[in-house]
Every structure is written in C-alpha cells, then in structure tokens.
C-alpha cells in the first residue's frame, strides 16, 4: 500500500504548490490557483429498462477560464467523485496552457457503471445529464469531450440534446463527435498521436532509438490502443505488453496491437491472446522495457512501486497516473517522465481544431490535422524541456511552471489578480 494521500485533488494542489514555490508566487495567487471557479452537482432520475427509476449523481466543475472558454471531458465510472472531477478539471487548465491553446479547464462525470447499462439507459442518462448541465455549458462557455467510458456516441447525444433546446444544430457545443455531425478527422487517435510525438521528442533527447525499442502500455482503450498501434506502425517500436481492466499480456517477441484489438472485440479482453503470457496490471508497470505508457487510470505509480519501474521513459497517456512522491523517486532514478498535462495534450489540441472547424464551418484534411498537431506538440515539448534544463526540475514541475506562468500572465492582463 502506498503511504501517500491518493486523493487526486490533494495531489493536484500539491503539484501547484511545488511549481508555485519555484516560481515564487505570492500566497494569495496560489490560493486562487488551488480553487475551482465553479462547481455544479446534479442529481437526476433515469428510467431503467426494467421499469424502475434510478437517481444518478453527476458533476461539472469549471476550474479556470483565464485564458479562454472552459474545456474538458466527461467520465462515466463508479469511482467518480467531486474531488476526482476537481482534479481532472484542474489538470485540464494546465494542459491547455502548456499546449498553448486558448482554453481554460473543466471536467464532468457521472457516478455509474456503464458496463452494466444498456445503450438506451446510457442514452437517457446522458440526455438528462446534458440537460441538467446545459445551464453552464455551450460553444462559447464550456465545451465537453469524451473521457473514460464515454465516446463519440455520447457526444452526439449531448450535442443533440443541446441542439433540440436551441432549435438548430450546435456542433461547436462538444468535441469528439462523429465526423458526419461536425467531428474532426484524426480526433479518435489524436491523444495517442500526440503521445507518440512526445515520446519521439523525449527519445531523441535521451539518445534512445525508438525503432526496435520495447513498449508496455497499461490500458487498451482509446488512448492505449491507438498509441500501441502508432508506435508500432509509424515509429517501428516493438509492443511487448498491453493490459485492460481484466489483466495484461506479455510477449518478449512482441505482437501486433491491431490483431490484439480484434481478439479483444471477440472475447472482451486482451487476456488470453495467443502466444502471450498473462501478467497483472502491477507487473506490467515493472517490466524491463524502454518505454512505459500508463494509459488507464490515476495513481498507478506511487511511492510503493516507483523504485521498481525500469522503463527509461514513462509517457503518461492517462491523467494523474503518478503521485508526487513517485515523481521524486523516478527523477532520482533517471526515468524521464513525460507528464500527463503535456503527454496526452494531443487530445484537447485536436478537440480545439474540431471546435475551430465547427465555428468556421470549414473542415480540414487528416494531413492538415496531423501536421498542425505535430507542430503544437513539438513546440510544447520543447518549452517544457527547456524549463526542465534551465531550472533543474523534473519534467512535471517544468510543465506546471510553463502552464501556471501563462495562466498568471492572463490573470494580470485581465486584472483578476492585479
Ligand atoms: P477508455 O475508456 O477508452 O479506456 C480505458 C482503458 O483502461 C480500457 O482498456 C480499460 O479496460 C482499462 N482499465 C480500466 N480500469 C483499469 C485498471 N484498473 N487497470 C488497467 N486498465 C484498466 O478511456 P481512454 O479515453 O483511453 O482514457 C484513458 C486515460 O487517458 C484516462 O486517464 C483519461 O483521462 C486519459 N485521457 C484520455 C483522452 C482521450 O482523448 N480519450 C485524452 C487525454 C487523457
């Protein structure tokens, strides 16, 4: 058991404190940065398929809009809590700032078990939740997107619910939509493509040849799957381990993630894929690989196991996979952590592209999307890398220092903190 506090919002505030100290921020300013601007809790009824009625609890937290409208995903999970949504909305703020895109940060979630709900129950729950939070979201105010166990279908239902109330289609109200209703080419793989570019930039600086390097990916959902595929198909890396909520698989010789996906779609899990050995999610993290990509949930690398991480690079596809105590241990060991707010910023970057395309009613080719994403990710990585070298801090503190400085600058111009 890890000895540190694993409450994600406590961790998020500690990360602000650490960077704030290095930036010598005034205590009053730090206090503002550690508080969400607005929080909405909604309890709403949903008719279940068996005729009973269930009350669900959902949240939307709008953390900071100093640099632009609020932006952030919606999560469906049984462990959703107000503090988790606060932390995720806080991380969104720094993510948009470090990528230098004109958004603030927000996040939403519903406490539910989507795996046990039918599609029509999910649709009714989504529409009711969208209706309840519609008083604070919209294309100029706060733009949701998918997160854990929500997808393009969820976004389409939200867009339709908001559009029904307006009387016309409002595609700019959510991102991560299907292409036919205003989605962007490349959005489905954008987080992973950005993660791949960030890994490439890190490897260059570590003098690690990505071609032939070994990669272990925790989580085989939207982020983990596309990352494994792109690392193999575009950079020639060898995928030796992947996992999902049922466990992981390992093969020294490597395997093709596209074939593993076909197997998972048939059987419900990656576990049992022919030619691989079953491993636990914990074992996967400690494998002797070049690149580790924690791409499932929070707090998987803690003070308890950080010392046993053997990867040279940890590319954080997930939000909040590493605790501050674990960061210190990894930094001392020389593991290069590409922090979540930078590493998985490709998702919100292409969400930003989607929103821009919706507002302009003018759509880009996949090549244009990828090229622009590559430019933004490479520049963001360079900014954080330079801060890391100049100030002799770990990559997470460097990313926070870049992001917080940008938000503080916006505060000063706007007079929010004169
Ligand atoms: P997803 O729902 O598509 O996939 C989640 C994956 O994690 C699934 O394979 C699931 O089986 C696995 N999983 C669940 N519980 C697990 C456990 N206890 N151990 C190991 N694996 C487990 O979600 P996603 O969109 O891929 O999101 C994954 C992470 O990436 C989250 O932290 C999310 O906040 C973050 N993220 C997602 C995006 C995006 O664009 N989707 C963008 C930025 C960050």
Average pLDDT over residues 365-389: 98
At 229 the three-state DSSP class reads helix
Average pLDDT over residues 147-156: 96
| Ligand 1 atom closest to 150 (CA) | 2
The response to whether residue 317 sits with its C-beta less than 6 Å from ligand 1 reads: yes
Average pLDDT over residues 324-349: 98
Q: Compute the distance between CA of residue 280 and CA of residue 232 in angstroms, rounded to an integer.
A: 23
Q: Compute the distance between CA of residue 355 and CA of residue 335 in angstroms, rounded to an integer.
A: 36
Round the average pLDDT of the chain to a whole number and report it: 97
Q: Compute the distance between CA of residue 238 and CA of residue 255 in angstroms, rounded to an integer.
A: 8
Spell out the SS3 assignment of 270-302.
CCCCCCCEEECHHHHHCCCCCEEEECCCCCCEC
What is the sign of the dihedral through the CA atoms of 155, 106, 285 and 227? positive
Whole-model pTM over 0.95: yes
Q: Compute the distance between CA of residue 340 and CA of residue 345 in angstroms, rounded to an integer.
A: 7
Confidence of residue 175 (pLDDT cuts 50, 70, 90): very high
Confidence of residue 253 (pLDDT cuts 50, 70, 90): very high
- Residue of 368, 381, 250, 363 lying closest to 315 (CA atoms): 381
Residue 134: half-sphere exposure toward Cβ, Cα within 13 Å: 18
**For residue 42, what pLDDT is reported?**
98
- Kindly report the backbone phi and psi dihedral angles of residue 175, in degrees, each rounded to the nearest multiple of 5, phi listed first: -120, 170
Residue 199 is inside which H or E element, if any? helix 190-206
Average pLDDT over residues 172-178: 98
Residue in the structure block whose two tokens are 């505060």? 411
Confidence of residue 417 (pLDDT cuts 50, 70, 90): confident
The response to whether residue 344 sits with its C-beta less than 6 Å from ligand 1 reads: yes
Name the residue at shortest CA distance from atom 13 of ligand 1: 245
Distance 418 CA to ligand 1 centre (A): 39
Distance 410 CA to ligand 1 centre (A): 32
**For residue 3, what pLDDT is reported?**
86
Cβ burial of 132 (10 Å; 0-12, 13-18, 19+) is middle
**For residue 271, what pLDDT is reported?**
98
- Cβ(347)–Cβ(190) below 8 Å: yes
Q: What are the tokens at 185? A: 């080419």
- Cβ(71)–Cβ(105) below 8 Å: yes
Q: Compute the distance between CA of residue 196 and CA of residue 230 in angstroms, rounded to an integer.
A: 7
- Cβ(188)–Cβ(261) below 8 Å: no
Q: Compute the distance between CA of residue 339 and CA of residue 106 in angstroms, rounded to an integer.
A: 19
Spell out the SS3 assignment of 304-354.
CCHHHCCCCEEECCCCCCECHHHHHHHHHHCCEEECHHHHCCHHHHHHHHH
Residue 70: half-sphere exposure toward Cβ, Cα within 13 Å: 24
Q: Compute the distance between CA of residue 73 and CA of residue 289 in angstroms, rounded to an integer.
A: 31
Residue 73 is inside which H or E element, if any? strand 70-77
pLDDT of residue 1 exceeding 80, the answer is no
For 196-251, the pLDDT digits (tens) are 999 999 999 999 999 999 999 999 999 999 999 999 999 999 999 999 999 999 99
pLDDT of residue 418 exceeding 90, the answer is no
Distance 315 CA to ligand 1 centre (A): 14
**For residue 168, what pLDDT is reported?**
98
Catalytic residues: 107
pLDDT of residue 294 exceeding 90, the answer is yes
């Amino acid at each position: 058991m890890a000895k540190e506090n694993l409450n994600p919002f406590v961790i998020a505030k500690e990360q602000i404190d650490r960077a704030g100290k290095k930036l010598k921020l005034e205590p009053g300013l730090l206090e503002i940065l550690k508080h969400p601007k607005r929080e909405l809790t909604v309890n709403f009824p949903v008719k279940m398929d068996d005729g009973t009625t269930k009350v669900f609890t959902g949240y939307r937290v709008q953390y900071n809009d100093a640099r632009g409208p609020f932006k952030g995903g919606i999560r469906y999970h049984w462990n959703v809590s107000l503090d988790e949504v606060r932390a995720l909305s806080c991380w969104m703020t720094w993510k948009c700032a470090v990528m230098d895109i004109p958004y603030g940060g927000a996040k939403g979630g519903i406490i539910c078990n989507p795996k046990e709900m039918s599609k029509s129950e999910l649709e009714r729950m989504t529409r009711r939740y969208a209706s309840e939070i519609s008083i604070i979201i919209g294309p100029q105010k706060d733009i949701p997107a998918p997160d854990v166990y929500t997808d393009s279908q969820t976004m389409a239902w939200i867009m339709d619910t908001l559009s029904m109330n307006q009387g016309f289609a409002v595609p700019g109200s959510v991102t991560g939509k299907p292409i036919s209703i205003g989605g962007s080419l490349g959005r489905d793989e954008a987080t992973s493509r950005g993660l791949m570019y960030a890994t490439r930039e890190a490897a260059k600086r570590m003098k690690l040849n990505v071609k032939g390097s070994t990669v272990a990916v925790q989580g085989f959902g939207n982020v983990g799957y596309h990352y494994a595929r792109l690392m193999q198909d575009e950079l020639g890396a060898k995928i030796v381990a992947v996992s999902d909520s049922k466990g992981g698989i390992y093969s020294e010789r490597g395997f093709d993630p596209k074939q593993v996906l076909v197997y998972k779609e048939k059987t419900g899990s990656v576990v049992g894929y022919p030619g691989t050995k079953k491993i636990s999610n914990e074992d996967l993290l400690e494998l002797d690989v070049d690149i580790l990509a924690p791409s499932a949930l929070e707090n998987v690398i803690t003070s308890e196991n950080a010392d046993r991480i053997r990867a040279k690079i940890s590319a954080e596809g997930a939000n909040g996979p590493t605790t501050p105590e674990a960061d210190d241990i990894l930094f001392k060991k020389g593991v290069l952590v590409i922090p979540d707010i930078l590493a998985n910023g490709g998702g919100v970057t292409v969400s930003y592209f989607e929103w821009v395309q919706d507002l302009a009613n003018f759509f880009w080719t996949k090549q244009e999307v990828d090229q622009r994403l590559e430019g933004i990710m490479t520049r963001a990585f360079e900014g954080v890398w330079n801060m890391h070298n100049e100030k002799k801090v770990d990559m997470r503190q460097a990313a926070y220092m870049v992001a917080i400085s940008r938000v503080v600058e916006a505060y000063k111009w706007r007079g929010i903190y004169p």
